[in-house]
Amino acid sequence: MSSIYDDLVDWYRLLDPLADHAEEAAALEAAARRVVPDATTLLELGSGAGNGAHFMKHSLRCTLTDISPAMLTLSRAVNPECEHLEGDMRSLRLDRSFDIVLAHDAIVYMTTRADLIAALETAFLHTRPGGVALLAPDCVGESFKELSQLHENDDGVRSLRCLDWMWDPEPSDETYRVDYSLLLRDGAVLRSCHETHIEGLFTTETWLGTLRQVGFDPGIVPRFLDDEEVDAGYAPHVFVAHRRS
């Protein structure tokens, strides 16, 4: 099956434009600096296309990790000065620590509590004493709502239309489903693709409890969202996890 993170990665910038991430990146860095004002280093787990790092790299030395080689290639093109490493956030071990560890929306691919614990243990082990980890899942259990959205973008030669539908076929478990239907036009050639992503859906209390379990002192701060995004059911906060000195 085709995947926007693999063989369709050349279309990714049309689906998720780099410029759309500037304000959120600034908000995430500000949240981290309220805990670690003198931070100089950042490790991102599941850095994807490097969208956030593109705006943070001017003030932080960024190490970017992802499980997808294709996404790392995409990130290197816009962040050549950053260190890029292939790795799974559940098992990554770099034998060094950072002022800030960030796991943005890639954390949603932790679909079981065992996955979540493993990823948060990775975050803890790579956060220096006195440092902070930021976790920004798309959704939390108590505020989840079914949602569909249309994404449209063009670059003068190619055009993308994507309908994504976020829904929960089994509300009693801790996952939800996102279906993507894509129309991709390159000149006069049009093709269609469909892919399904299963993502983790944990309550805020589960997040906080698991962060404490692995050793963090966690809290929450408001997420950078507009009113429409809050109403749509996205997680209203980011988890800020302090590793005590």
* Together in a domain, 188 and 85: no
Closest CA to 2 of 197, 198, 194: 194
Closest CA to 105 of 180, 45, 61, 59: 45
Q: Are 243 and 128 in contact (CB under 8 A)?
A: yes
Provide the Cα torsion 26, 29, 35, 41; round to 10°. -150
Q: What pLDDT score does 229 carry?
A: 64
CATH number for position 92 = 3.40.50.150
C-alpha 187: how far from chain center: 32
Confidence grade of residue 64 (pLDDT, cut at 50, 70, 90): very high
1 belongs to a structural domain? no
Residue 186: how many CA atoms within 13 Å on its side-chain side?
5
219 belongs to a structural domain? yes
Percent of the chain predicted with pLDDT > 90 = 93
Q: What pLDDT score does 24 carry?
A: 94
Q: How many CB atoms lie within 10 A of CB 195?
A: 17
Structure tokens that stand for 217 in this block: 């002192």
Confidence grade of residue 245 (pLDDT, cut at 50, 70, 90): confident
* Together in a domain, 235 and 173: no
Which whole number is the average pLDDT over 60-78? 98
* Together in a domain, 81 and 173: no
- 199-225 per-position pLDDT tens digit: 999 999 999 999 999 999 999 999 986
**Range(s) of the domain holding residue 119:** 9-140+202-242
95: exposed, middle or buried (Cβ count in 10 Å: 0-12, 13-18, 19+): exposed
Tell me what the pLDDT averaged over the chain comes to: 96
* Together in a domain, 82 and 188: no
- 13-29 per-position pLDDT tens digit: 999 999 999 999 999 99
* Together in a domain, 85 and 195: no
* Together in a domain, 125 and 165: no
- 100-126 per-position pLDDT tens digit: 999 999 999 999 999 999 999 999 999
2 belongs to a structural domain? no
* Together in a domain, 126 and 219: yes
Q: What pLDDT score does 232 carry?
A: 72
* Together in a domain, 130 and 157: no
Domain count, the chain: 2
